[in-house]
Amino acid sequence: MDNLNRAGGILVKCGDEVLLCRRSQNESYAGMWSIPSGHLHHNEDARIGSMREFTEETNIKPSKNLKLIGFIPAGRSLLYVYLMEVKEKIYPDLENAKDGHEHDMCGWFKFEDIPAEIGEKLKKVIEISFNI
């Protein structure tokens, strides 16, 4: 596991919709829809690192009440996916977020309306979130 790159992200769910953000054209995975996520620091706790990355990309402090709902392997990388359920929709402040430039838009989607430009593995984890 020492040579594995770890990343963490938070899937936000409000009722029957999830929050997704589209990667900016100058970033890796340009044009792809995803969850706010990023690389974890060496020896960083995955939950704490996921919360840090979420804040850096959205300018929103996440709830500490997160549930680990899946892992997404990609080559030598592993993405930890946490679920945060909210009662009211939250909206990322990309202009003021430290790493808000990584996304060019965010939106709320019902499962059947999730954009085609999303990874199939992430889409499966999102599907799981609706069955928890």
d(CA 115, CA 112): 9
* Domain boundaries defined on the chain: 5-129
- Would the pLDDT of 1 be above 90? no
Domain 5-129 indexed as CATH 3.90.1150.10: no
The pLDDT assigned to 2 comes to 56
> Do 55 and 61 contact (CB within 8 A), yes or no?
yes
Neighbours of 22 (CB within 10 A): 21
| Predicted confidence (pLDDT) at residue 98 exceeds the cutoff of 80 | yes
In this predicted structure, the answer to whether residue 34 has a pLDDT above a threshold of 90 is yes
* pLDDT higher at 132 or 65: 65
pTM attached to this predicted model: 0.94
